[in-house]
Amino acid sequence: MTRTDRVIYRDSGAYCAHPCIARLRNGHLLVAFNESPPRRPFLHPPDEPRTLCLVVRSTDEGSTWGEPRAAPGFLTTGVECPSITQLDSGEVLLIQWRFAWFPLETAHKRAGAGEEFVVAGSGLGEAAPIASEADWPLAKLPWARTDAGLFCSISTDDGYTWDETVQISTAPFRRGYSPRPPVQIADGALLLAVASHDARGVLYTLRSTDRGRTWLPPTVVSDSAVLSEPTVARVGADRLVLLARHDASGFLFQQMSTDAGQTWTRARQLPIWGYPAHLLSLSDGRLMAVYGYRRPPFGIRACFSQDGGETWDMRHELVIRDDLRNTNLGYPTAVELSDG
């Protein structure tokens, strides 16, 4: 493999991370990602109310990139990692979990009315849910968040503007999050796999039959292990493969469906160590998983399946990068270009 590295966006005064890439029918590439103000130590999106989603575009298959645009707009801040994709109809979907943010004192008052809040610690991974009055001193920064919901923004002009944004109900689950986009199945419906993002770690899917305007109630995929950040690829008319992150082991877990997502096999651990993953069905019939490698040598790797996910060729695991500094190495995302 010949590797060419290009910087698509850099801002030394910001923390930029968590990209998702899509290739449009006109050949353009879109990358949606998060940008946050610089802090020391830095904060991931769930702890930073000023996180903004940006979309950057290439019209020459990644050789050059334009200036980023806020998506769906500058008023939407404090969001989780975005996913982006184009449908067969040409519409582009941008999907994000959103938080509602309050000054710490306001959140303290509202908590008495039964709302659930999380306060930010002073660094990465130090956020703390408020279970009782005794937890409020855990806050190290002057704000708190609760959940606003899962939202789908729709563009009819290849992601230049966003015509409408609809909320996707996740009930009975409080949350639904994944940084990877929905997959379009044979009948044109969309299947979005998300995680409950709580202590249970339930995976479930949401289905839309009208190109993202409305969504059917959740269908549980897995509740046997604490999993998160699922990614799905279509490998046949009704055959789907799902990979998910398993923090306890660091390995990817896999499930499969042969009926377009109506039912799923039980989650099984793969020999692939690394997370989170992005699944991609290639034009030559192979299935590719690209994932972060969060132990020395820190980097990004990929693995391939020749049989639709039944087996994975770990003997030929592809090391894309092995020179990154630490575990904060981003969420790798992949797309196939016109030359394969």
pLDDT tens profile 76-111: 999 999 999 999 999 999 999 999 999 999 999 998
Residues constituting the chain: 340
Q: How far apart are CA 175 and CA 80, in angstroms?
A: 11
In angstroms, rounded to a whole number, what is the distance separating the alpha carbons of residues 92 and 94?
A: 7
Dist. CA 268–CA 271, nearest whole Å: 10
CB 95, CB 152: distance < 8 Å: yes
pLDDT, residue 121, reads 74
Q: Any residues with CB less than 8 A from the CB of 118 and at least 6 apart, and which?
A: 46, 127, 128, 129, 130, 144, 145, 146
Taking only the tens of pLDDT, the chain with its 340 residues reads 677 889 999 998 899 999 999 999 999 999 999 999 888 777 888 889 999 999 999 999 999 999 999 999 999 999 999 999 999 999 999 999 999 999 999 999 998 777 889 998 766 667 889 999 999 998 989 999 999 999 999 999 999 999 999 999 999 999 999 999 999 999 999 999 999 999 899 999 999 999 999 999 999 999 988 999 999 999 988 999 999 999 999 999 999 999 999 999 999 999 999 999 999 999 999 999 999 999 999 999 999 999 999 999 999 999 999 999 999 887 999 999 999 8
| pLDDT computed for residue 39 by the predictor | 80
Bridge partners for 280 per DSSP: 288
Q: What share of the chain is helix, strand, coil (3-state, %, to 5)?
A: 5, 40, 55
User: How far apart (Å, rounded) are the C-alpha atoms in residues 54 and 113?
Assistant: 34
| Residues 170 and 176: beta-carbon distance below 8 Å | yes
Q: How far, in Å, CA of 246 to CA of 4, rounded?
A: 31
Domain coordinates of the chain in residue numbers?
Answer: 175-340
DSSP characters over 202-270: -EEEEEESSTTSS-PPPEEEE-SS--EEEEEEE-SSS-EEEEEE-TTT-EEEEEEESSTTSS-PPPEEE
Name residues whose C-beta falls within 8 Å of residue 319's C-beta, 6 or more positions apart in sequence.
Answer: 299, 301
Neighbours of 250 (CB within 10 A): 14
CA dihedral of 168, 35, 160, 23, whole degrees rounded to 10: -80
CATH of domain 175-340: 2.120.10.10
Bond before 179 cis per omega within 30 degrees = no
> Who's near 332: CB < 8 A, 6+ residues apart?
278, 290, 291, 292, 300, 320
Q: How far apart are CA 118 and CA 128, in angstroms?
A: 5
Q: 300-309 contacts: CB < 8 A, separation 24 or more?
A: 300/324, 300/329, 300/330, 300/332, 301/274, 302/334, 303/272, 308/235, 308/236, 308/239, 308/241, 309/235, 309/241, 309/254, 309/256
